[in-house]
Structure 1
Amino acid sequence: MSKRLPSLAQLVSDAAGRFHDRPALAGHVGVVTYGELDTSARHWATALRQHGVPQGGRVGVLGNRSRVTYIGALAAAYAGAAFVPLNTKLHLDRVRRISRLAELDAVIVEPDALGVLDLLLEEMPSLKLILAPESVLTARVGGIATCDRTTLPVNAEAPCLAPDRDALAYLLFTSGTTGTPKGVGVTQGNVAAYLEQARARFAFAPTDRFSQMFEQSFDVSIFDLFVAWASGAAVHTLAARQLVAPASYIEQEGITVFSCVPSVLSLMKQRNALRPGRFASVRYSMFAGEALTVENAREWAAAAPNSVIENQYGPTETTVVVTGFRWCSRDCREYPNGYIPIGAAFPGVDARIVTSELRDVAPGASGELLIGGPQTVPGYWRDGTLTRERFVDLPTDGGERQRYYRTGDLVRSLPSGDIAYLGRVDHQLKVLGRRVEPAEVEAIARQVPGVTDAVAVGWPLEDGRAVALTLFVLASCGDEQLSGEVTQSIALRVEPFLVPRTVIPCREFPTNANGKVDRAALLDTLRESALVAT
């Protein structure tokens, strides 16, 4: 980057100086002012540094959607270290693996997670410090230093405000195809570039109220928390039970900035919660993490008539989001597969569409999306083999070489210059030897009255190969008539081998910890049913 951009710590510290008495956190965790947030984070950061946590070191934050996890992430940033969310909502085995792979220097623990900590300590051999709500941990932790957060000295040192741009800012772990989580180390330079984009793109104000829908183990939470705090706004947290049904909360809290995965809209629509004009307080709406359908965008535009609506895109490896498309409810254009485009690349982001041989496609042709630029991370944490597989160095138009992340997303460029999302390269299936794009079938199903979402998978299998499609549809009713209508609608528009052999209505889809539809879990239900039948 040509200029030194402010770090996470600088942005929040500056905001705390200007908005000392304003709420930084609100909602189910109670109200925490900027002054209280800043003071607590400084105290905890001082303890981290005094106990040898180095710049770019890793600080685990153990818990879920609590004051401790929110302040803990900021404390790590103030100490010049990287925070590593250890989400207790995840399966214990996954948290155990993450704890081991992250090579943690310290861990900050919420009260409800002390029992989980006991099960994780053997995975943390390099641990220097445990920051816990009480100091009665010595019987469990042996020679590891412990600090009671409630008794830390008030004369805390200033935070580390100018960390090296190549040092880690946070370390997240995403699902790996081999079952081992992939570590994505986002640098201070990566996240500073993202924050500059986000703050320039939207006119956020100290009076804004941000929703906090995303788990901290999902990188879009960086938007929820740090973009809000950099703006002096309040972050309104939701309890777990409110995440799938946030309508009443949006109304009651007067949320002005709403962000979620698109599947939440499908659930809200199924509950008849998207009534026209209901969310008049919302000024900005951002959707990311999944494809946004045209139907869901229209329903939300009617429910939030005063909102700017943006469909955003960005894998964890490219630091939160790198493209955006502003949706207008008067837009009547047809889009591929019924999805809103993911838009154009942000300034400085280099988006390329390439063939399987990594050659640029012809204009309008489909291919895999590559992302390069200041938001693209250097590679995977402690995994050179996977880094070489998913990151490539290619020549640019200027002749120099640049590193790109291979997203695995199938896209094409529209005449407008926007990028259309077509589906996942790895979701493509072969059915009876023919290549199938599931998104095509899913888009047709979503047009059937009563269906709010659809997911197609390759099933059943013979000799390990898909011989047909099975379609799961999200619907308020589960009768055979709806299944027949979906099958008939698809049969009128595609070749016979693309017509699902079975259509299964569901009241809800399984989701992973990031709120995305879990296709693997749907396939598991089919495998289990097949085993029971035999």
Structure 2
Amino acid sequence: MAEKSEWPLYELFLRGLGKSPGGAAFRVGADVATYEQVHHLALLWGGALLHTPATPPAAVGVLAAKGTIAYAGIVAGLYAGATVVPLHPDFPIARTRQMIAAAGVSALVVDERGRKVAAELRGEGLEVSVLAPGAERVDPGHALSRPRPVEPGGVAYVLYTSGSTGTPKGVPITHANLAHYFHFMDRRYDFTPRDVFSQTFDLTFDCAMFDLFCAWGAGATSVAVPSLAYRNLPRFLAEQGVTVWFSTPSAISMARRTGGLAPDMMPFLRWSLFAGEALKCADATDWQRAAPRSVLENLYGPTELTITITGHRWSERTSPGLCVNGLSPIGFVNDGHDHLLLDGQGQPASTEGELWITGPQTTPGYLDPRNDEGRFVERDGRVWYNTGDRVRRVANGELVYLGRADAQVQVQGWRVELAEIDQAVRGCAGIEDAVTIGAPTGDGSTALVVFYTGTPAQPSDLAVQLRRTLPPGIVPRRYHHLAEFPLNPNRKVDRAGLRDRAAKLLTGPAPSSGSRPG
């Protein structure tokens, strides 16, 4: 194996190809492809991308739902030596156009749905080449003979996080970032070609890269988990032979509601991994009892720190005693990184504060350097990433997540800038101003509640307008009209008071129409 500083991301797929050439690289329902088949398609499509009418693309967008075109398209972009930008065909056109422009995407790999979206984009004047393998012949004469070499500092992929200005923030992740991360994963886990991984995360989420490349590096199979599977999750996982589960903790609540967390219901799982949201002690305990032979881990990591940056290995004997406010530890920071806890004055704190991290998994910064301010900070001659998360160091030295120190919240795994929602709501007809609050629900998740001034509107009408600019997963479901915002003694919007009001709204029935008076 090459030294990690020279290890491109596609090397993981090649490693899986060597271990399991005839094995399934993925399954999405009846859509299945072996490592050899994906490799052949990636060489074919990678060559086609390099022979587009324009110059060879520096960045390739993959505009496709989970399936052969999306998975092979990701590998093809990497084989072509380009930066891969996963895009969701069902995201609003305006948002997709922003992402394409910011990342410098000049070629798209599309499925049937993505082809229609690409046509709309081109109709609006976006100049981009389109490779539609399911709808057109790809010239085999252009196929690559091998993947193109890349530089360690080259960007492997770009993912997007919510932006406070209303524009998504692009996060470039380099091959060097990923080399360190996956070498660390190699040492942490014992994945083999016999494993079958769940693939629960959307391809625009960084944890999807764990699903795919940890599986592919082991020569294992990645299986997409459809929403209907949660009606009887243990049965689906047993039928698919899943041995490695990875999802947000919200899946635990879903499994509980459908009777899927009875003791020993998932004895076939070897690993149970959770990330993207805070993991409750009670949820970890229940899942562990349902999957007693699996090793359960709570992982944590912003996109800017390459998938996951800390991990806690759950122990029924010791972990409950380390929980704070009912939340599991997030563990120790990955090898090779330093971290700081800073108090409200920006001074180092020993036990509790805002978490800052520096090390080889830290992205070089956002695509737009103007977004770096306050997040990527030079201190003591090194660049640190300010996570904005408050943590506490417990007795054994591990960290426990306490909550956000800024105006971000996590909703269904999305890290959402509340200001982005505010700006989107202000763009709705008749709205003067808006304040979005992230409030806890009864099942431990977070719901978005919008308070707005201006003309009262039907919640359904607001939701329809917001779907034009926001991904479906972060469109709020609760809207509350106010004649004016309450103010605190400093004459600022009383967000604490609005949080209390939001909590009360969430305990009552959702309004079916209209908006409730303030």
Same fold by TM-score, threshold 0.5 exceeded? yes
Contact 1:245 1:267 survives alignment (8 Å): no
Once the two structures are TM-superposed, the CA of residue 301 in structure 1 deviates from its matched residue by 0.1
Once the two structures are TM-superposed, the CA of residue 113 in structure 1 deviates from its matched residue by 2.3
Aligned to 2:456: none
Once the two structures are TM-superposed, the CA of residue 65 in structure 1 deviates from its matched residue by 1.4
Once the two structures are TM-superposed, the CA of residue 345 in structure 1 deviates from its matched residue by 0.6
Aligned to 1:20: 21
> Is the counterpart of residue 223 in structure 1 residue 210 in structure 2?
yes
Aligned to 2:353: 367
Once the two structures are TM-superposed, the CA of residue 454 in structure 1 deviates from its matched residue by 5.1
Q: Where do 5+ consecutive residues of structure 1 fail to align?
A: 136-147, 396-400, 430-437, 446-450, 473-499, 507-524
Once the two structures are TM-superposed, the CA of residue 91 in structure 1 deviates from its matched residue by 2.9
Aligned to 1:131: 131
Contact 2:7 2:176 survives alignment (8 Å): no
Deviations 1:287-346 (A, max 9, x none): 000000000000100010110000000100000001000001223415211100110011
Identity of aligned residues (%): 33
Q: 1:427 to 1:251 in 2, by over 3 A?
A: farther
The 1-side partners of 2:297 and 2:221 are apart by: 21
Once the two structures are TM-superposed, the CA of residue 390 in structure 1 deviates from its matched residue by 1.1
Aligned to 2:287: 300
Aligned to 1:489: none
Of 474, 486, 489, the match for 1:462: 486
Aligned to 1:453: 444
The 2-side partners of 1:354 and 1:244 are apart by: 43
Deviations 1:201-240 (A, max 9, x none): 1000000000000001000001000111011001111234
Aligned to 1:342: 330
Secondary structure of the residue aligned to 1:388 is coil
Aligned to 1:40: 41
Aligned to 1:509: none
Contact 1:251 1:278 survives alignment (8 Å): no
Once the two structures are TM-superposed, the CA of residue 31 in structure 1 deviates from its matched residue by 2.0
Contact 1:456 1:471 survives alignment (8 Å): no
Aligned to 1:329: 316
Q: 1:274 to 1:182 in 2, by over 3 A?
A: same
Q: State the AA in 2 paired with 1:462.
A: P
Of 399, 402, 410, the match for 1:422: 402
The 2-side partners of 1:413 and 1:205 are apart by: 34
Question: Which protein has greater RCO, CA pairs closer than 8 Å, 6+ apart?
Answer: 2
- Provide TM-score, normalisation by structure 1: 0.78
> Is the counterpart of residue 389 in structure 1 residue 374 in structure 2?
yes
The 2-side partners of 1:3 and 1:24 are apart by: 23
How many residues align? The count is 450
- Provide TM-score, normalisation by structure 2: 0.80
Of 368, 376, 379, the match for 2:365: 379
The 2-side partners of 1:244 and 1:314 are apart by: 29
Q: 1:94 to 1:468 in 2, by over 3 A?
A: closer
The 1-side partners of 2:274 and 2:120 are apart by: 36
Contact 1:15 1:231 survives alignment (8 Å): yes
> Is the counterpart of residue 403 in structure 1 residue 383 in structure 2?
yes
Q: 1:76 to 1:357 in 2, by over 3 A?
A: farther
The 1-side partners of 2:212 and 2:125 are apart by: 27
Once the two structures are TM-superposed, the CA of residue 245 in structure 1 deviates from its matched residue by 6.1
Q: 1:54 to 1:170 in 2, by over 3 A?
A: farther
Aligned to 1:163: 150
The 1-side partners of 2:328 and 2:372 are apart by: 30
Answer with 201-210 or 29-38: which moved more: 29-38
Where do 1:192-203 residues align within 5 Å? 192-203=179-190
Secondary structure of the residue aligned to 1:198 is helix
Q: State the AA in 2 paired with 1:370.
A: W
The 2-side partners of 1:423 and 1:301 are apart by: 24
Contact 1:468 1:501 survives alignment (8 Å): no
> Is the counterpart of residue 110 in structure 1 residue 98 in structure 2?
no
Of 214, 225, 241, the match for 2:201: 214
Contact 2:322 2:329 survives alignment (8 Å): no
The 2-side partners of 1:351 and 1:123 are apart by: 46
The 2-side partners of 1:125 and 1:263 are apart by: 38
Once the two structures are TM-superposed, the CA of residue 126 in structure 1 deviates from its matched residue by 5.1
Where do 1:141-152 residues align within 5 Å? 148=136, 150-152=137-139
Of 171, 183, 202, the match for 1:184: 171
The 2-side partners of 1:470 and 1:22 are apart by: 54
How large is the Cα RMSD of the aligned pairs? Answer: 2.9
Q: State the AA in 1 paired with 2:183.
A: E
Contact 1:470 1:503 survives alignment (8 Å): no
Once the two structures are TM-superposed, the CA of residue 124 in structure 1 deviates from its matched residue by 7.2
